[in-house]
Structure 1
């Protein structure tokens, strides 16, 4: 069953390739949605996919997908937002 999750990631996550590696991971797991930097230094992700793939995605995001990033906190909230247009970096 397809679900959508809203994720806010804190830590050293801007300027270290975090969005690039998140996009790469999402494409590998067939996750759709977007990732964007937020002015407060966090990264916001909206991800939609099968429950198993989403759980895997969240676990790998929490473990810092970029070798240069350091995730210190991750907040998730499931939503009814529909995302079905690939995965991209939102500017």
Structure 2
């Protein structure tokens, strides 16, 4: 077996991820999916790099637990911050 990683085309990667090829290209452009270029047009993606994108979506319970933890760990609001929030709420969210 070769030590060369299995390189996929954009279309092959999209098929594996069950997304549109443009989604794969967008991920390559924004840097969230590593890729290499062969010439000016051809893009190849290592199959192992796709695993990083395929993370399970959080369950509602996990999301609620995470939110609760963030709230518990957040520092208390200052009096100035409380006043600003109250002002925004009274204005209906208009920060003007």
TM exceeding 0.5: no
User: Given the two structures, how large is their TM-score scaled by the length of structure 2?
Assistant: 0.21
Query: Which structure would you say has the larger RCO, counting Cα contacts within 8 Å and 6 or more residues apart?
Result: 1
User: Given the two structures, how large is their TM-score scaled by the length of structure 1?
Assistant: 0.22
**Bigger strand fraction:** 1
